[in-house]
A = this chain, B = another copy of it.
Amino acid sequence: MPTNKPKAANQPTAENGPTAGKKRTAAKNQTATKKPQVTASPERRRELLAAAAEVFAAQGYNATTVRKIADAAGMLAGSLYYHFDSKESMLDEILSDFLTELWEGYDTVLAAGLGPRETIEALVTESFREIDRHRAAVAIYQKESRTLAPQPRFHYLSDSQQKFEKAWLGTLERGVAAKVFRADLDVRLTYRFVRDTVWVAASWYRPGGQHSPEEIARQYLSMVLDGIALRT
């Protein structure tokens, strides 16, 4: 499954033509297990991934060279390949680790059988907690997910987005039906607004700031649920 990578840089340029490849891959491909190092300590691995995530989040994935990552980790570029088999697989691991943890939290909330309003409140709070814990990963997800999702390797991003939409949209609709939320608002539009605002917070949130995730969630929910206008 993770074996053959299209070597050079992708590209949908219709015809790769006869002039394309220069016989680069020197018939090395036979032993299936391409995994380079499984023996490595998982701790060092996580350290390196954390370093990489910071750089990815700060500079963007494409603008980040493996040499910058290695620099941040205090080693040389080539040495990274003892731990990971490509730059892309680092990104992959960062994102899938994050999403796995995220959905653990979400699924717990969704299985709790709360009412619509309480579900929204719990989801938002949980989201800000995830931002607190995976700031870098969330920022990367925000910036790159749209470009990555079409790639087969990152198909789980699309899956996640669909699950995401289903959970939020479903809750909103349930709330409208239960006369907990207003019926005159476009549910899909509302969903987009809510979703975006929550996650964009990763771009300005700094852990250890003056607002805890719970406080931010409280303020945000107050705004979205009750509005900022003063009732008269």
Contacts and interface: CB of A to CB of B under 8 A. Distances in A.
B10 A179 contact: no
A193 interface: yes
A224 interface: yes
A80 to B, nearest CB: 18
A223 B224 contact: yes
Contacts of A17: 7-8
Interface string A81-107: 000000000000000000000000000
Given A200-B200, A226-B229, A230-B179, A185 B219 contact: yes
A25 to B, nearest CB: 17
Contacts of A193: 197, 201, 220, 223
B216 A189 contact: yes
Contacts of A117: 229
A151 interface: no
Contacts of A185: 219, 222-223, 228
A14 B10 contact: no
Given A197-B197, A223-B227, A13 B19 contact: no
Nearest to A216: B189
A190 interface: yes
B189 A219 contact: yes
A186 B60 CA distance: 30
B227 A226 contact: yes
A219 B186 contact: yes
Contact of A228 (B8, B13, B225, B228): B225
A146 B63 CA distance: 13
